[in-house]
Structure 1
């Protein structure tokens, strides 16, 4: 179930990549597909919670299962929010650097999808949480550079507010990936 949820996040990251080169009508269509992916993520999260609540014995701590499912759901929520804001704010051009932010998210999504099947055995996960942590640090640097770029005087104040909210939400998605990796690390340490 976690693997299916992570695969859905990969779908969301691909939609973010599509957003970069899309015009306004295509962005609206991408936003609809992202909304559908976010709803599929919600369904996967609810299925995990339902299974958790109906199971007497769980493969690892209930709190960790809940935290992992919630964190995976948060990632999709943040990615969907970013796409939605681009469409709602009618952003014509995203600032240079957003593509790097999205590339980091796409890589984190791939790593997370690759890691989730390893929860069955808890093998080969160390590299996953180390790499996601490194990617989150990279995302922090990109975020700071984007903020500096936004405040350099090129944009008017309203545009800065709109763009800042979008890059902040993408940064929250990167933070959520790190939270997933930290939860996986906690599970592996407890169960080892």
Structure 2
């Protein structure tokens, strides 16, 4: 029998996992944005807004669950922190889609797709990890892998910005840089999720 670190009800962990899944869905919408025409941007930006709205609803549902449950699968402050960080990640992804629509950028660097690949992998790993917080199964591996992906994202961001500087005039550079910054911030928020998971492992080991 596996030792269960938190042998309580797992509604909070399921809500966290669903929030991470919304991030995965958001990456799918952002991928569609990258391949869309400017005429399709507004529709896709609205689709992204819906992913963010669902994530926010799940965040508030988690807060309600914490207030009404006698026993939670993690300390309330840990559940709140993880939920807040996941919600902030999808808010920034939503912001990236909205900026592309507002700026009507018809062509983005292939670096955008590279960052989305990282975000997608981070979100998939996080969705699985949120369901495993009641034990210690593979969570150390999750933590390490998210940090590795975050470092990759930082390198991609630096290369992207350097390329933008050489390819665009100041106004266009600023607009493309806004997108690059939004996407790397998503990877940073997911890294914060993993770092907090690491702190939970240290506290509970």
Q: TM-score surpassing 0.5?
A: yes
In the other structure, the counterpart of 1:163 is 176
Please tell me whether residue 43 in structure 1 is matched to residue 57 in structure 2: yes
TM-score after normalising by structure 2: 0.89
In the other structure, the counterpart of 1:69 is 83
User: Does structure 2 retain, via aligned residues, the 8 Å contact 1:60–1:187?
Assistant: no
1:188 to partner: Cα distance: 2.2
Write the deviation string for residues 27-81 of structure 1: whole angstroms up to 9, x where unpaired: 2221111100000000000111111223343322222111100001011101000
**Of 21-30 and 73-82, the range deviating more from structure 2:** 21-30
Residues of 1 paired with 2:30 and 2:123: CA distance?
A: 12
Residues of 1 paired with 2:141 and 2:45: CA distance?
A: 33
Q: Any idea what SS the aligned residue of 2:107 has?
A: coil
Name segments (4+ residues, structure 1) moved above 4 Å: none
In the alignment of these two chains, the number of paired residues is: 191
Please tell me whether residue 57 in structure 1 is matched to residue 71 in structure 2: yes
User: Aligned to 2:164, which of 150, 163, 171?
Assistant: 150
In the other structure, the counterpart of 1:121 is 135
Please tell me whether residue 30 in structure 1 is matched to residue 44 in structure 2: yes
**Where in structure 2 are there 5+ consecutive unaligned residues?**
1-14
1:4 to partner: Cα distance: 1.0
TM-score after normalising by structure 1: 0.95
Q: Any idea what SS the aligned residue of 2:108 has?
A: coil
CA RMSD, Structure 1 to Structure 2 (Å): 1.2
